Structure 1
Amino acid sequence: MGEVRKLQKKLRQIENLEIKISLTSEERFKISRKAELRSRLAELQLQLSGPQQTLGIVGDGKKEKMKRQVEDAPEALPSQTPPASKILKGEEESRPRETPAPAARPRKTGGGAETGRRQERTEPAEVSAHSPDVSGGSPDSDNQRLVQQEEAEFSSLQSSWEKAKFRLRLLEGHNDIVTCVVAVDNLVVSGSRDTTVKVWHVPTATEHKNLGGHTGGVTCLSAPPPEYCRRLARSLSLSDKERFILSGSADCYVKIWALSIGQCVKSIYTFNVVTALCFVPEEDGYIITGSDGGKVQAWSWHTFENCQSINAHQEAVTSIQSQGPLVFSGSTEGGVSVWENRCSDQDPLRLLHHWSSEVTGCGGGPGGRVTLSPRGDRVLLAHGRAWLKNLHWRSGTMSRLTNHSSITGVTDCVHQTGGLLIGSCYDVANGESSLNIFSLPQCRYLASLTWPHATRVLCFATWTTGSGDHRWVTGGRDLIVWEQLPSSGKQRGDVTARRDSRLESCSLESEGDTEDDEETDEYEEKDSDEGRDSGCDVTEDGGSASWLRCVLQ
């Protein structure tokens, strides 16, 4: 087991090395040994666990893995099952499924709230078989019907995603890692470490515009809503239909681009490397930026002047998201801050809550990158581990959702859209990548999607067509547009939908140390210590911030 962990650490270090722009001869030699290390790790895992337990974790190559996935794919299910395109109906449909949980809580015999719900899901059929038919119904029978209805709806969703088909189209043009993506109408906008922002026309999968102007890697993008675009367009004597994109870069600039003319209409110098940004559509509008030094700044959309600068975090801000008047920021040390926008000309942000890494449990890892996805009273966090964290930001209560069945799994990004939670999944031990789909709000596992020669997904954006079908875009080494195909059509998709049985039993679990947790934490702590000897130099530039600096340098 000791050699297995040592190999896993080395592979993690190599993955961090590969995203650096310039490499020394020693680093190139380390990278050249990746295939050898993976092969040795596969042998050891087979010896320790046996082939049945390592199926899906260890493979003899991508072709064999994909062949196995196709052979294991489920048969087509009855036609009455609704297609995956009908899954997303907005928050209105996802909320009613939350109602059975409170009434069912008295049935719990231990564990957490979700454990109680899992017990209820298996009990109703047995109970209803022996319960008398009481006229008018009883609270217990009503509750049973609600639970059964919830189970039927979930089974329908799961069946739909097992049949989901997507066509993938590679967008070629960037010559370095794609760090950020956004979707605007029929356009995809991507930012890259190659310093460019590119605009892509989705229906034709062609490059529409190449926006050059940054002198450092592009780290973040944001798209203001149409009404705020119209205000700026009028002041610039442009069409009311003009759309704008914000880009942040390691060159310390935020640039505002007019998409139709492909030009930068405004540059804001921030005096700091910009590592994250978002747009807050409140009152006149605000641009919120985060820096590599942990600073959060607010800028007026009306005057483009700095309204506020706050030393909010100890290390680099890696993610900023807005939700109405609220702003959420996360940093490499694992801290999460929640701000309220008071819509004032000076100091518009007021801190509501700050939860440190001791609460979130997201700090100190080799990845050093926290990605946020807020909704309501909770924020889902991806932080380079095999699981996602769920923070109830008002109370500081934490829970955990397994996103990979091995400790060699890495979650780089998390995204919520309608009734779905999507987490990226990458295995450093074998280089396999997939997207895991969960239903909201219970975060129950639906399916995993993988594709030929899948590379690590570092950024993600989603939108739906007028007919309700999904369109996604993923970025990393490759920039790929996903277009959902009709489930009833004869056209074959490029994506393999499968179900990982090891994730089926996983659900949101309250934070608590188990034997597995302790083993994983011990492994990651040692991994961070050994990182001092790696080419990425984990300790030189602020510990866990090394991932970000490797990307930007």
Structure 2
Amino acid sequence: MGEVRKVQKKLRQIENLEIKISLAPEERFKISRKAELRSRLAELLLQQSGPQYTLGTVAEGNKEKMKRQVVDAPEDLPSQTPTASKIPKGERQPKAQAAPAQQSASQRQTAPGRDGDGDGGARRTQPDTGPQGTRVSDPQPPPAGSDARPATPTTDVGNQPQAEQQDTEFASLKATWEKTKFRLRLLEGHTDIVTCVVAIDNVVISGSRDTTVKVWHVPTATQQRNLGGHSGGVTCLSAPPPEYCRKLARSLSLSEKDRFILSGSADCCVKIWSLSTGQCVKSIYTFNAVTALCFVPEGHGYIIAGSDGGKVQGWSWQTLESCQSINAHHEAVTSIQAQGPLVFSGSVEGDVCVWENLCSEREPLRLLQHWDSQVTGCRGGQGSRLVLSPRGDRLFLGHGRAFIRVLNWRTGSMSRLTNHSSLSGVTDCIHQTPGLLIGSCYDLANGQSTLNMFSLPQCRYVTSLTSADVPRILCFAAWLTGSGGHRWVTGGQSLVVWEQLPASAKQRGDVTVRRDSRLDASLLESEGDTDEDEDSYDEDGEEEKDCQSQDATEGESSSWFRCVLQ
């Protein structure tokens, strides 16, 4: 396993180098070894593909730990329920002791289906906080309806029809997606990496490291507007809901039909753009490179941004004045997502903060939970970029590995979904669309990009979509057409629209639909059984020298995230 991890780490470094604007001679030499390293990694993985190296096994030193499989327990994913200790920021969270599983696979199949999403953002907990938001109270028990509640006894056969109905619905969903076809269209115009995308009806807005925000009309695959005004790479976008756009339009004496888009950039600015005029109606200077952004549609509305220095900042949508600035993380914030009155932020070091929006004009955000990398398992390192996607009590985490981690943000219990059949896969983005969780995966061994789909809320693997024409997917957006078809857009080295063809269409699709049976079983881990971190092992002298050389030439910019800011 040691050599496999070394080769994987070198390939990650090469992938990060390839998206830099300029390269030093030694960096070009490293990239020239890409094909050689891919061939070597494929050879090593083939050697280890026998009975001694299976999907459900993770090696650790000279011993192997077998992961337990979830057969059909969609909402039992975080079955390990450690004490929900709320820790002051900066302290290390002790690993929870895993409770032994009490149900067999056959018992899980007869368990009644439960929607563990709970009330999510609708329920607000009220922990006591210190002067700086540090929690000082004892943890409250998880509310009824959360993922953390104990499993219902499975001897009640009266619920068997419900389980059978879920299986029938899943079988139908799987059969439908196995027959689906997509047509791909390239949107040409950006001259550098596409870092972020959002969709509004049939309009796609993309941000790029080339400093521009572009507006595209998807049905005709044409560029409508080029929003130039940032002096640094655009790192994040967010689209306020229509009702909040109407409020701003009225205050600016613009048409109430106007829509607005928010963009954040490495130039330390958050800009608000009018899509109808293409003009910047407001520019907010933040003193730090903006690295994550979201709009919170609660009360009068709030703009929440994360910075390269770890700050989380807020502005009132009503006044566009600053209302809060918090030193929330030690390193760069890489993702901010809103769910009702809740805001979730994640950072390079792998920690997650959960905030409650109090809808106040002064300091609207209050810290509810902080889970560090000891709990999330998303330790910072070369190429680390934590992405978040909340759903009720669960928070899906992507961190550049072959798994999607699932955090119960109320209790700290962890589980994970297999997003690639080998450890050479890299998860770059996660997205939810009605009934589906979609995870992108990039194979370091062969350079292939894949979109894996899981059913919601059960998180059961459905199928995978791939195309030789799609490079590494770094950002993703999805929406439904008026006829109920799927339209997606993916960004990275190129901007690609995925349009679902009608079931009756005779033309051949551009996308390969395939199922990887090795992803059928979700892998469940206890808090102590984390997957092997390729960056956490001791390397030989040559590898360590390579890392030191790269650190000397790139400093902190070895990760994809740092490259975006260059």
Instruction: Please give the TM-score of this superposition, normalised by the length of structure 1.
Output: 0.82
Determine whether 1:357 maps to 2:369: no
**Cα gap change, 1:409/1:15 in structure 2, threshold over 3 Å: closer, same or farther?**
same
Structure 1 residues 118 and 544: alpha-carbon distance in aligned structure 2, compared to 1, 3 A threshold: farther
> What are structure 1's unaligned runs of at least 5 residues?
56-96, 103-109, 125-137
C-alpha root-mean-square deviation of aligned residues, in Å? Answer: 3.1
Q: Output the amino acid matched with 1:549.
A: R
Aligned residue pairs, count = 489
Whether 1:472 aligns to 2:488 is: yes
Aligned residues of 2:8 and 2:534 also touching (Cα < 8 A)? no
Q: Does residue 549 in structure 1 map to residue 562 in structure 2?
A: yes
Shift of 1:122: 8.8
What does 1:308-457 correspond to in 2, within 5 Å? 308-457=324-473
Once residues 549 and 315 of structure 1 are traced to their aligned partners in structure 2, the CA distance between those partners, rounded to angstroms, is 11
Q: 1:280 to 1:196 in 2, by over 3 A?
A: same
1:34 aligns with 2:25: no
Alignment of 1:51-450 (within 5 A): 112=101, 116=104, 120-121=108-109, 140-450=156-466
Q: 1:499 aligns with which of 506, 509, 515?
A: 515
Which amino acid in 2 is paired with 1:27?
A: E
Measure, in 2, the Cα distance between the counterparts of 1:319 and 1:421.
Answer: 17
What is the distance in 1 between the residues matched to 2:31 and 2:554? 22
**Are the structure 2 counterparts of residues 551 and 101 from structure 1 closer, same or farther at C-alpha, using a change threshold of 3 Å?**
closer
CA shift, 1:541, in A, is 8.2
Name 1:94's counterpart in structure 2.
Answer: none
How far is 1:305 from its partner? 1.2
Question: SS of 1:198's equivalent?
Answer: strand
Deviation at 1:123? 11
- 2:557–2:563 CA contact under 8 A, matched in 1: no
What is the SS of the residue equivalent to 2:314?
strand
CA distance 1:169–1:295, change in 2 (3 Å)? same
1 CA distance for matches of 2:539 and 2:325?
A: 35
Counterpart position of 1:18? 18
Distance in 1, matches of 2:342 and 2:446, equals 40
Q: 3-state DSSP class of the match of 2:533?
A: helix
1:501–1:294 Cα change, 3 Å: same
Tell me how far apart the structure 1 counterparts of residues 327 and 545 of structure 2 sit (CA, whole Å).
Answer: 28
Aligned letter for 2:259?
R
Residue 521 (structure 1) aligns with: 533
State TM-score, norm by structure 2. 0.80
State the Cα deviation string for residues 32-68 of structure 1 (Å, max 9, x = none).
22112222333344455479x999xxxxxxxxxxxxx
Instruction: Decide whether the 8 Å contact of 2:398 with 2:429 is kept in 1.
Output: yes
SS in 2 for 1:227: helix
In the alignment, the residues of structure 1 paired with residue 276 and residue 179 of structure 2 have an alpha-carbon distance, to the nearest angstrom, of 38
Report the counterpart of residue 7 of structure 1 in structure 2: 7
Q: Give distance in 1, aligned partners of 2:361 and 2:468.
A: 51
Residue 172 of structure 1 aligns with an amino acid whose one-letter code is E
- Check conservation: 1:378, 1:393, Cα contact below 8 A: yes
Letter in 2 for 1:284: H
Amino acid at match of 1:242: D
CA shift for structure 1 position 140: 4.1
Q: Report how far residue 491 of structure 1 moved.
A: 2.1
Shift of residue 11 of structure 1?
Answer: 1.0
Render the CA deviation track for 1:300-352: whole Å, top value 9, x for unaligned. 11221110100000000000011111111000001101111111111111111
Q: Matched residues, percent identical?
A: 70
For residues 63-111 of structure 1, what are the alpha-carbon distances to aligned partners after superposition, in whole Å with 9 as ceiling and x for unaligned? xxxxxxxxxxxxxxxxxxxxxxxxxxxxxxxxxx989979xxxxxxx96
Are the counterparts in 2 of residues 120 and 147 from structure 1 also a CA contact under 8 Å? no
Structure 1 residue 422: deviation in Å? Answer: 0.4
Change (3 A) 1:522 1:273: closer
More helix, by proportion: 1
Distance (Å, rounded) in 2 between the aligned partners of 1:118 and 1:380: 27
Give the Cα separation in 1 of the matches to 2:375 and 2:111: 35
Question: For residues 100 and 367 of structure 1, what CA distance do their matches in structure 2 show?
Answer: 31
Shift of the alpha carbon at 1:2?
4.4
1:511 corresponds, among 523, 526, 530, to 526
After superposing the two structures, state which structure 1 stretch, 540-549 or 10-19, moved more: 540-549
Distance in 2 between residues matched to 1:217 and 1:496, nearest whole Å: 33
Distance in 2, matches of 1:293 and 1:235, equals 33
Question: Residue 225 of structure 2 aligns to a residue in which SS?
Answer: strand
Structure 1 distance, partners of 2:514, 2:106, is 22
Q: What amino acid is the match of 2:563? A: C
> Matches of 1:532 and 1:340 in 2, distance apart?
45
Q: Give the CA deviation at 1:538.
A: 5.0
